[in-house]
Chain A
Amino acid sequence: QKEVEQDPGPLSVPEGAIVSLNCTYSNSAFQYFMWYRQYSRKGPELLMYTYSSGNKEDGRFTAQVDKSSKYISLFIRDSQPSDSATYLCAMSGTDSSYKLIFGSGTRLLVRP
């Protein structure tokens, strides 16, 4: 079983919808949680970064971390066709915090 599980999708939504993306993990030592967006044939781009539990909001994006459930989420409000991409969750612990453990990614398609 992988340390980080993520539904591969694809997830198809109409423009303007609220999108919910999720990851579960097994390692209770994880403290740093990130969401990356990856367009086709490009490298991952950092969207959100959260330390430990709680919520963080940035524009249309909200990241939530529930360490008690080992569950993290990314919400995208007012989704746009330009949001169509693969979304990767990533996390690391305080020991070797530089070593990111990624989920396999969820493909999102926002239909005009």
Chain B
Amino acid sequence: GAGVSQSPRYKVAKRGQDVALRCDPISGHVSLFWYQQALGQGPEFLTYFQNEAQLDKSGLPSDRFFAERPEGSVSTLKIQRTQQEDSAVYLCASSPTGIYGYTFGSGTRLTVV
């Protein structure tokens, strides 16, 4: 597609529920990134894929967070046993390679109640 597509746009989860957030990157983009943006803050790095390989997951806040990109295209960010502090916008970005040309999606706004 023309841009990075994320679904769902909005997700309300009850505390303790598992959620899965999807990212469709720009076709052909090798690099894929997930960021978390809390209200009134800048995005914070979560994880980085190059093709299907997860090269950096240092930003994942706990072992409840898991990301995958099994075929080097679509990626899923999964959060298990959601907590209120997980409420944020989750942004996905892709790039042909490296840092220049990062294109962000519009994000998934997760609200945990």
State the A residues within 8 Å of B (CB).
Answer: 4, 6, 8, 32, 41-46, 49, 88, 90, 92, 96-105
Contacts of B109 in A (CB 8 A): 41
For B99, give its contact among A45, A92, A102, A104 (CB under 8 Å): A92
Please determine whether A99 and B45 come into contact, CB atoms closer than 8 angstroms.
yes
The 8 A CB mask of B52-66 against A (1 = contact, 0 = none) is 000010010000000
Q: How many residues of chain B have a CB within 8 Å of chain A? A: 26
Q: How far is the CB of A52 from chain B (nearest CB, A)?
A: 14
Please determine whether A98 and B31 come into contact, CB atoms closer than 8 angstroms.
yes
Please determine whether B100 and A49 come into contact, CB atoms closer than 8 angstroms.
yes
Contacts of B56 in A (CB 8 A): 96, 98-99
- Bound-state Cα–Cα, A98 to B50, Å: 11
- Bound-state Cα–Cα, A32 to B107, Å: 24
Contacts of A105 in B (CB 8 A): 40-42
For B43, give its contact among A8, A42, A97, A100 (CB under 8 Å): A100
Contacts of A4 in B (CB 8 A): 42
Please determine whether A43 and B42 come into contact, CB atoms closer than 8 angstroms.
no
For A42, give its contact among B33, B48, B93, B106 (CB under 8 Å): B106
Whether B4 sits at the interface, judged by CB under 8 Å, is: yes
Q: How far is the CB of B57 from chain A (nearest CB, A)?
A: 11
Please determine whether B42 and A41 come into contact, CB atoms closer than 8 angstroms.
no
Contacts of A100 in B (CB 8 A): 35, 43, 45, 99, 102
Contacts of B40 in A (CB 8 A): 8, 104-105
